[in-house]
Structure 1
Amino acid sequence: MSESAQIPGTGPRIIVGNDGSQPALHALEWALDHARAVGGSVTLLRAWTMSTAPRPSTQTFGYVPPRADFEQAVLEDLRADVAGAVASHGQGVDLRYEAYCGPAGNALIEASHDADLVVVSSRGRGGFRGLALGSTSDQLVRHAACPVVVVRGARTNETERTRTLDAAVPTADEQPSE
């Protein structure tokens, strides 16, 4: 199921995987900035299963709503999770929202066949925190049908880390003489 905020443009189609995590927001910000720079459109994709989907408003004791109600609840959560990033980085970008029932890796690989670029964070909500690359990102870079960008961390943190590393490396003038 998908919802469109605007009519898709004719530029590159960019798919962004979003699981609601903070790293996924950084990937979305990167994708929105890139889409604006190249005149592309962004499709936000959230994978879900019955165990991970939010409870639809139509669900009551003894009644399991239809799949479409679960998809709608997933899309509502997706919109709420990304509202701040879209407001601050999404001006002028054609934006769509899609929910996919199934594993995130499968969703992104399938979407990559109709995309020009897929953007994901290096890590999402699940798995082991110490890993540099999560299982979904790893699966995607191995099997996607288009280029993949893996965004690692917040840009502000990476910029700060780079400045710190640059300050720690001596310049040619500061190199000890032999």
Structure 2
Amino acid sequence: MEQRPRIVVGVSGSLGSLAAVHRAVAEARRLGGEVLALHAWEPPSGEFGHRRSPCPPLLTAVREAAATTLAEAMAEAFGGADPGVPLTARTVRGRTAPSLLAAADRPGDLLVLGPSGSWLHRGLRGSVPAYCLRRAACPCWSCRAPNSPSPSMS
């Protein structure tokens, strides 16, 4: 039995990630596929810091905050309406880019990414789209944030 195409999309709650969710749903409609929306989270001090001094109540709070962020982003993206395609929203524990690449592991998957975060975020954590575009085993689609200027031609 042939699997339906799966579109994996990263969701942070930013406008850019919401644009990526809409693009993923549009592609799923076009291809007759399904959408897997992922929100990755880590302990505040990272995995190494958490192993050094674990704090279960803090970990629980961060996990719940991640689930809330994902639920609010999906509600904002669709306003409670049915997206018209099978959609699964999931939180995963781990760094964002490796988690997205691990999820987009089936033949025929498509990975849809929003724009990278602020310059500070990119400086501290690196660009998720750049990381994924360099390492993905499946096709990737990187979306621009809504109302962002188009690149100039020089």
- Quick check: 1:139 aligned with 2:134? no
Instruction: State the partner residue of 1:51.
Output: 44
Alignment identity in percent?
A: 31
Q: Which of 122, 127, 130 is equivalent to 2:122?
A: 127
* Structure 1: runs of 5+ lacking an equivalent: 1-9, 53-62, 129-133, 166-178
Distance 1:123 1:40, change over 3 A: same
**TM-score scaled to structure 2, two decimals?**
0.73
Structure 1 residue 146, shift from structure 2 partner: 0.6
Aligned length: 137
What is the CA RMSD across the aligned residues, in angstroms?
3.1
Q: What is the TM-score with the length of structure 1 in the denominator?
A: 0.65
- 2:77 is aligned to 85
Greater C-alpha Rg: 1
Q: Which amino acid aligns with 1:65?
A: P
Secondary structure class of the residue paired with 2:132: helix
2:11 is aligned with 1:18 = yes
- Please identify runs of 4+ aligned residues in structure 1 that moved more than 2 A: 63-73, 86-91, 124-128
Judged with a 3 Å threshold, the aligned counterparts in structure 2 of structure 1 residues 49 and 146 are, in CA distance, closer, same or farther, namely same
- 1:41 matched to 2:37: no
CA drift of 1:69 comes to: 6.6
- CA positional deviation for 1:51: 1.5
